[in-house]
Structure 1
């Protein structure tokens, strides 16, 4: 039986390949790809029975695999691998898609492999992947995906203090004191959160979570002091609208 490992980290591919060769039976060939595009081409060419697919990869997440098989049957079993986010794990559970947490445990690997073998004849992987998409849509009601160089962080809205423009990037400040530089513009997040009343754009360079405002200061203009003591200016042309929003929402 042929299997394919799709993972952008060569070490992760080597470790999983070694485990499969040394600990698992019935595998005749192990193929590898370092990104989803090359992996999909390999899948279509070699037609493996099982694909080990990393969730967090640059350019294309493993979760986007359905986009590459529009109107095409998916006749292979997918076992997702991930090192991140309880949020992602919950989505896998909701959709009945199998997954392995990194670092991969050999007993978990054997169990997942056996389940995949048992399910190969069911031919319901398309349905499972569609369920996975729905699960992520459901959970995204209070989560946001932050694409970092190593993959994706799924942050709760309640974990985000504010977004700060940094050229064509955005710095996301979290309530644990950490920040992440994301390869997306501030407009991307403004558009994504436009229906979330907790997030407000007081200035062209900032998008704040109103929940974490600590103080409004009237000195040299109008400013908001956030929970982490960061002072954020209120644009002059947004001052009246901001004060009206404060009076309406907090009185």
Structure 2
């Protein structure tokens, strides 16, 4: 989960870094900004899934920054870190999802994460492809490569065909634990596996994806770890 922390007190960032690390593990990708100005200099839509804004900062306040964000991104989750409810009514204007009261503690951070529905955030996560278009990660069933073109086979709409090496797509997808390379020229989404046999995966669209004999144990271990993690989360795909 890509999270931006905008706070002029680095101690607040360090505190949140600890709690997000404990609650989200390696899936937490935190970026710190010491002011609203610094954040807006690099801000672009779809860069983050959650933005935690300090309300009281010099020059631009958290509310000022939130208004700028909403000019170009209506979906990103915004939470305010504050010691006061002074701006509670204005938070509706920017569709804030949570007021995270200071001093931060683990239970307050956990309550915020529960409120924003991480599972739904994960399902909505997008990436930008080499051709500039965006795709929802969880919509990809698998990717394959042939004759200088990579095809993303998707659940909804038409398949996406790119003139791109599979290594470029691997760099985009395989940083997420549910994407894996079972054999040369192929990347699969473990969420879309319906069945595994000794040498193939059956995908949700009926495609049979071969498992390299050389990588059989590595593939099986990775898929087993994925299934265990899904069970730990309650069995939701």
- Larger helix proportion of the pair: 1
Larger Rg: 1
